[in-house]
Amino acid sequence: MEIIIQPSAQEVGIIAARMVAQIIRKKPYAVLGLPTGSTPLVMYKELIRMHREEKLDFSEVITFNLDEYVGISPEHPCSYNYYMYTNFFSSVNIKPHNINIPDGRARDIPKFCTEFERRIVEAGRIDLQILGIGADGHIGFNEPTSSLASRTRIKTLMPQTRQDNARFFPSLDEVPQHSLTMGIGTIMEAKQCLLMAAGEKKAEAIAKTVEGPITAIVPASALQFHQHTTVLIDEAAAGKLARREYYTKTFDEKPDWQHL
């Protein structure tokens, strides 16, 4: 794992956008795995700026979103579908048929999930999977005790996760109980992963992910098995890392050819 510590959430978002841009410039038909939540908002803004001012081209890019709530329509303002169009897709030149978001209203959920997995394989697999992290260490909506080999499926949300995400809904009662999420096994098949986190509330989960044992109780810890994962965090989220100085030194002394 590479650990990059930046002063604030702003720099985290800018660096994430540069990583995405680097991949798209090398491979215009890149396949991206995309997250939602507050953390990636700066990244999406910066990608929109790069599209407008630096001609970053999304016309051949294919995307797969990590997760979606079950039971709410794509037009619902709290759906991840709505989030993605409002914060990103409607401001860049991505083609609608290249966008894949789990359908929280699918009638036959197992069939939909199998088809979603098939589409990822058909697209040539995910080149860069971008991830946020929950305070309990979840990635996507893979809550603690999720199988580390899991595939796209329905998951029941933990009370803590519903509470954390209630800020996007009119009330806690309206936060769905279930979600569709790529599995940890699905995420692990991406060629590269980028886990982003900001703020003190994520410090514990980040320390366990990076320095703790690999365990289904901390789903993100599975990334220790991934051959190419970058953990991009701000100072506050790095607050509980025991080997912080080593990570900073490694990043500062990177050879030029490895720099972003």
Among all residues, which ones are annotated catalytic? 67, 136, 138, 143
Count of CB atoms within 10 A of residue 188's CB?
19
Closest CA to 40 of 131, 113, 102, 117: 131
| Binding segment toward ligand GLP, per CB under 6 A, in 46-54, 94-102, 129-137, 225-233 | 129-137
140 is a contact residue toward ligand GLP (CB under 6 A)? yes
Which residue has the closest beta carbon to ligand GLP? 132
132 is a contact residue toward ligand GLP (CB under 6 A)? yes
| Binding segment toward ligand GLP, per CB under 6 A, in 15-23, 34-42, 100-108, 119-127 | 34-42
* Residue from the set 13, 33, 37, 176 that interacts with ligand GLP by CB under 6 A: 37
Q: How far is it, in rounded angstroms, from Cα 6 to Cα 252? A: 11
By the 8 A CB rule, do 241 and 233 touch? no
CB of 37 to ligand GLP, least distance (A): 3
Please spell the DSSP secondary structure of 180-209, one letter per residue.
EE--HHHHHTSS-EEEEE-SGGGHHHHHHH
CB of 73 to ligand GLP, least distance (A): 18
Longest dimension (CA), the chain: 52
134 is a contact residue toward ligand GLP (CB under 6 A)? yes
Residues 161-180 that bind ligand GLP (CB under 6 A): 161, 165
State how far the alpha carbon of 170 is from the alpha carbons of 63, 77, 165, in Å: 29, 10, 11
Q: How far is it, in rounded angstroms, from Cα 115 to Cα 207? A: 35
Q: How far is it, in rounded angstroms, from Cα 34 to Cα 129? A: 6
* b (16+ CB within 10 A) / e for 168-185: bbeeeeebbeebbbbbbb
CB of 60 to ligand GLP, least distance (A): 25
| Binding segment toward ligand GLP, per CB under 6 A, in 32-40, 89-97, 102-110, 183-191 | 32-40
39 is a contact residue toward ligand GLP (CB under 6 A)? yes
Residues contacting ligand GLP: total by CB under 6 A: 14
| Binding segment toward ligand GLP, per CB under 6 A, in 25-33, 45-53, 134-142, 144-152 | 134-142
Residues near ligand GLP (CB under 6 A): 35-39, 66-67, 132-134, 140-141, 161, 165
